[in-house]
Amino acid sequence: MIRKSTKIITTVSAVTLLVSVAVYIIFLGVVANQKEAHIVVAEERIETKAHQESLQKLTETLKETEGERTALLTRFIKEEDVIDVISLVESLGNEQGVVFTTNSLDVMPINDTLESLVISMKVEGDYTRVHKVLTLLEHLPYQTIITRAQIQESGDVGWVGVFEIQITKFKKI
CATH homologous superfamily of domain 76-170? Ribosomal protein S6/Translation elongation factor EF1B (3.30.70.60)
Identify the CA nearest to 122 among candidates 161, 89, 94.
Answer: 161
Q: Structure pTM? A: 0.62
* Residue 173 pLDDT greater than 70, yes or no: no
Q: Quick one: pLDDT at residue 94?
A: 84
Which of 7-11, 12-16, 31-35, 69-73 has the weakest average pLDDT?
Answer: 69-73
**Helices of type H across the chain:** 4-64, 66-73, 82-95, 127-138
Average pLDDT over residues 138-164: 89
Measured CA to CA in angstroms, residue 17 lies from 32, 41, 82, 108 at distances of 22, 36, 90, 85
Identify the CA nearest to 98 among candidates 125, 61, 63, 59.
Answer: 125
Identify the CA nearest to 123 among candidates 99, 105, 106.
Answer: 99
Sequence ranges of the domains in the chain: 4-64, 76-170
Ramachandran area for residue 153 (φ above 0: left; ψ -120 to 50: alpha; else beta): beta
For the chain, the straight-line distance linking the first and the last C-alpha, in angstroms and rounded, comes to: 102
Where does the pLDDT of residue 109 fall: very low under 50, low under 70, confident under 90, or very high at 90 and above?
confident
pLDDT digits (tens, 9 = 90+) for 20-73: 999 999 999 999 889 998 999 999 999 999 999 999 999 999 899 888 878 877
d(CA 142, CA 4): 106
d(CA 39, CA 45): 10
